[in-house]
Amino acid sequence: MTLFSDSEWNAIADRSVEDFRTLLRFETVNPPGNEGEAADWIVQRLAESGVESRVFRCGPDQLRPNVVARLKGDGTGGGPLLLTGHIDVVPVELEHWDHDPFGAEIHDGYLFGRGAIDMKNMVTMCLTITAALRESGARLTRDIIFAAVADEEEGCTYGSKYMVEEHPDEVRAEYMLGEIGGFTLDVNGVRYYPVQVAEKGICQFRMSAHGDPGHGSMPHDAMSTIRLAEALTKLGTTRLPQHEVATVRENIRLLAKTQKAPASLVLPLVLNPKLSALILKKVIPDRGLANTLAANLSNTVSVTGLRAGQKTNMIPGTSTATLDGRLLPGQTSQDLFREVEAVVGSGFTYETIREFEGIEGGTDDPFFEKICANIRRHDPDGIPLPYMIPGFTDAQYFSRLGTKCYGYSPLRFPAEDEVKFTELFHGHNERIHVEGYRWGLRCLWDLVVDVAVAGD
Ligand SMILES: [Zn+2]
């Protein structure tokens, strides 16, 4: 169904690009966040289109804002659809940027700025769509909730986590669209659009080795430092057991089906626990790809901190490592500790720092089908590819309200430019192709109209 003429739509897209640039100029670097002025501007921009919004503040001095707006639907099309993005961004290393990361400058068709793809693009697209729906007067068949949240880059505490825990009725939805997906990914000349349907969980913990204290002049064979070092060496050189996740299986199946030999033949073999170690180590030439695949097949642990001893001539009785453990969906902290213990042996103590389980939205859902159809409609050669990220996003928290979460912030990069989304994400010279942004805006608009606007 068409709500705007071509020229009306072009004007909406022009305004959206300018709004996007405005949002990029707010320095919302987290830490500390500083999302306040950007949030105020979002409220004002929504108001200009007749959309009322509320700001939910939290954190020290109530400085962290979350903007939420709701367009009411009659519910005949289903439960609410949450359109969401975070307005904070990661820090920059200025010396590596060719242009001001907060200048929103356009050069050679690219708009430069910290947040250009992570993820003020999605925030602005959701803002534009919310405003345009209101201005169109369209009758909605489900509520549309727009939530621009704080603090994702430091773990969501003052953003999605706060909203879900303190104001769940404001953000509870049947479906969520957010990051990280919908971008072009070229693999051997085939164009894919990864759609995020799963995220790993977390089990960050301390692991301590114990031994006999003593004087540094008298080494012995029960030193906690050595026990810990030996255990960590084993952990660093052993892959934890493989577990199959439906999203990963589907991802690899589809990749293999659409690639040529030898990739089409080799890829499915990584699902075989007996062969995967060999394939990952020897057969896949791209280390980045091999590491990503490995992270998708097992729980993982990275040693990120070490602490032992106070004095050079004292052998400490306890030595401790900090580990960042990541859990496949369906796995728990207890599962991970069992797997770690199987590698390092007994005698260590474990203390959990932070834990939550992974999530999986599922590909056998009509909403996921709508996303795939949306991609095919706007790029007939593009292949929608369900995938799991090894990290986590706001979806971790929104999913706790029963929401099915998908990472779909459509965005196209021209193939000939060889600009890679994955390298720009948190990278230097973060930028977005302006025409690719307008393309994505149209994709997302058509998807939202498809699932939430009554036909006539
Ligand atoms: Zn992000």
For the chain, 456 residues long, the average pLDDT of each consecutive 10-residue run is 91 98 98 97 98 97 97 97 98 97 98 97 98 97 98 96 98 98 92 97 98 96 97 96 96 94 90 92 81 93 96 97 98 97 97 96 94 98 96 97 97 90 92 98 98 88
CB 101 within 8 A of CB 117: no
Task: Scan for tokens 């306890």, then name that residue.
Answer: 318
pLDDT in the model for residue 423: 87
Q: Which of 356, 377, 410 is the last residue of a domain?
A: 356
Residue 125 falls within a domain, yes or no? yes
Say how many Å lie between the CA of residue 153 and the centre of ligand 1: 7
Residue 382 falls within a domain, yes or no? yes
Say how many Å lie between the CA of residue 430 and the centre of ligand 1: 13
Say how many Å lie between the CA of residue 179 and the centre of ligand 1: 6
Q: Which of 330, 356, 382 is the last residue of a domain?
A: 356
Instruction: Tell me the torsion sign for CA atoms 234, 237, 242, 247.
Output: positive
Same-domain pairing of 228 and 324: yes
Same-domain pairing of 349 and 231: yes
Same-domain pairing of 244 and 363: no
pLDDT in the model for residue 289: 79
Number of H helices, E strands in the chain: 15, 19
146-to-45, 72, 171, 172 alpha-carbon distances in Å:
13, 11, 9, 11
Residue 386's CB is within 10 A of a number of other CB atoms, namely: 26
Tell the burial category of 48 from Cβ atoms under 10 Å away from its Cβ (0-12, 13-18, 19+): exposed
Same-domain pairing of 34 and 76: yes
Q: What is the CATH number of the domain that holds 115?
A: 3.40.630.10
Residue 430's CB is within 10 A of a number of other CB atoms, namely: 24
pLDDT in the model for residue 456: 59
CB 79 within 8 A of CB 174: yes
pLDDT in the model for residue 269: 93
Say how many Å lie between the CA of residue 291 and the centre of ligand 1: 21
Say how many Å lie between the CA of residue 262 and the centre of ligand 1: 34
Same-domain pairing of 25 and 152: yes
Say how many Å lie between the CA of residue 119 and the centre of ligand 1: 5
Domain that residue 36 falls in: 6-197+359-452
pLDDT in the model for residue 455: 85
Task: Scan for tokens 């109530």, then name that residue.
Answer: 62
CB 372 within 8 A of CB 135: no
Say how many Å lie between the CA of residue 178 and the centre of ligand 1: 9
Say how many Å lie between the CA of residue 196 and the centre of ligand 1: 13
Say how many Å lie between the CA of residue 89 and the centre of ligand 1: 7
Number of independent structural domains in the chain = 2
pLDDT in the model for residue 373: 98
H or E stretch covering 25:
helix 6-25
Say how many Å lie between the CA of residue 253 and the centre of ligand 1: 27
